Amino acid sequence: MIFEATEKLPQIPHNLSIPQFFLDYQNNEQLVTNGQPAQGIDPGIPWLIEHRSGRRIGLEEIRSRTFGLANAMSIQYNIGLNDVVLLFSRNNVDYPIAIWAVHRLGGIVSGANPDFVSNELLYQLQATSAKLIIVHPEALETAVTVARSTGFPLERIVVFDVESTATPKGFTSVSDLVKVGLEKPPNFVEPVIDARTKLAFLSFSSGTTGKPKAVAIPHFSLIINVIQMVVHWKVFQEYAPWDERRFRPGDVAIGVLPLYHIYGLVLNLHFILYSRITLVLVEKFNFVDMLETIGRYRISHLMLVPPHVVLFCKQAEILKDYFLSSVRFIMVGGAPLSNEVNEQIFGIFPEAHIGQSYGMTELCTSVTAYPITQKRGTAGSAGVLEPGVRARILKQDGTFGGYDEPGELCISGPSNSLGYYNNEQATKETFVDGWVHTGDEAKIDRNLEVWILDRIKEIMKVRGFQVAPAELEGCLLDHPDVGDACVVGIPDEYSGEIPLAFVVLKEDASQRAERSLEDSAKIKASIEKHVSDNKVYYKRLAGGVEFVPSIPKNPSGKLLRRLLREKARELRIKPTPKL
């Protein structure tokens, strides 16, 4: 059985790049209003606000800076068609400028987590063959270390401007480049593209197994996913009185989700800006800082992940000290919320529209969201299928399920990515005849609401980030005391899941561990530190290390991870998160 949303999508041009569609295509909101002018749009409202300084940036300044940066990258670095630029940074008001400037040149953007350690950045740099790195000053040391180890030219590292922080000596800033680009005559012509096939992003995902893979996302996937959300939520349409509309031009959203992550990139940035909602970009998430920002800018829209929501619930006693009554809408993605947390957040924001959404990098983000007809999403539901999305449920016996039958969720939709970049085998395993096999067990009811039940794939979701057990196991095996290892995810109220390592020690280490509890604790601490030193913070072994005599495997050598998940439950491990 194929499940499909009944609402239809408008025709979207296939020849526009992302900046052409969002920055140049005049009155493009009329695509979703049957050609009628959208109501309430004030051309003077800012598109972006810099969180700490309060600097307000409108469309014309965005266009100007985008052109200047593109022109300078063309002149000084010869960035052009299909060249990859790696953005290694926290949120910054010039982050979207950098994205759109690269796209103006026909280039491809790959966002990297600024908390990556050297080997993780090296992996992404080599996988994408990036020709330029634009980096946040806090991450510059890591970028320089990787550049020197690979022969990457240091002059091809550009630094984002950060308030009250001088550009590091010997490096060029984004503002320096913008100035050069605006002073020089145009050195490039925007290429004519087919947005359905021209790559815009290489966004990394762990897929269903193994090391992170570069998901090949074309321009059209992002554009159409934004339009799917716009149609789903009737943005610009007069479906209700102004005070009751969910998205209104002139509202203000907070941008705490990282822009290198697909959720932040597509929904918190492009969808919000398309809806003519001002975005206050926050460099780095801090809960108390976010509460202050909500009051300072009268934030109306929050796009969050479950750990953010848990903080609201766990620190409810301090909320009375902040102005939060401006919040009208909260969307939660990345992982399901428990019924208890749902009810608590409903109570904290009794007047707000609150619900959940489901998506993944391979789908270029959202394919379900709670409906416009409900003020509150159904507790535990990921929402209904969005316009243009088709879904199937693949049961264990290989047949397709009907209503309320569980199985693997498979998605076909206009925003699906093209596959994994330079990885034909992984693409064949996940992208099958136009359908993305998500690796998530789900069921779909007669209201087309999608219920995510469990994860069939081995990937863990830690704070909304994907973590592949195999990646951590490879790291563990590099430790001199580790003979074998298996990593499983265990439930955690704050992070959703956290990694726990079952470790078989080598003979000498095993004898030391048996000698005393103190020696055993030292070995565990050493193993945990080894992972912390080599992996980004959310991949650390917050669930701890458990020594076992052997790792269960099937006759072909595959880890029987399910058995160790059951063992973890039997141990009744209740760790304090160490992230």
Q: How many CB atoms lie within 10 A of CB 90?
A: 22
Do 285 and 486 touch, CB atoms closer than 8 A? no
| Tens-place pLDDT, residues 165-223 | 788 999 999 999 999 999 999 999 999 999 999 999 999 987 555 678 999 999 999 99
The amino acid sitting at 395 is K
Cα separation, 38 vs 499, whole angstroms: 48
What's the mean pLDDT when you consider all of the chain? Answer: 91
Average of per-residue pLDDT across 85-95: 97
| Tens-place pLDDT, residues 211-261 | 789 999 999 999 999 999 999 999 999 899 999 999 999 999 999 999 999
The CATH code of the domain at 199-455 is: 3.40.50.12780
Do 157 and 135 touch, CB atoms closer than 8 A? yes
For 58-183, CATH number out of 3.30.365.10, 3.40.50.740, 1.10.3720.10, 3.40.50.980 equals 3.40.50.980
| Per-position DSSP letters for 315-351, written without gaps between them | THHHHTTS--TT--EEEE-SSPPPHHHHHHHHHHSTT
CATH 3.10.20.30 fits domain 462-570: no
Cα separation, 153 vs 131, whole angstroms: 9
| Tens-place pLDDT, residues 501-546 | 999 999 899 999 999 999 999 999 999 999 999 999 999 999 999 9
Span(s) in the chain for CATH 3.40.50.12780: 199-455
Span(s) in the chain for CATH 3.40.50.980: 58-183
Span(s) in the chain for CATH 3.30.300.30: 462-570
- What are the residues facing 239 on neighbouring strands? none
Confidence at residue 222, expressed as pLDDT on a 0 to 100 scale? 98
| Tens-place pLDDT, residues 447-501 | 899 998 877 777 788 988 888 887 898 789 889 999 888 899 888 888 888 999 9
Do 534 and 479 touch, CB atoms closer than 8 A? no
Cα separation, 120 vs 433, whole angstroms: 32
Q: How confident is the model at residue 159 (pLDDT cuts 50, 70, 90)?
A: very high
Measured in whole angstroms, the distance separating CA 431 from the mean position of its chain's CA atoms is 20
Q: Which two tokens stand for residue 201?
A: 């992003």
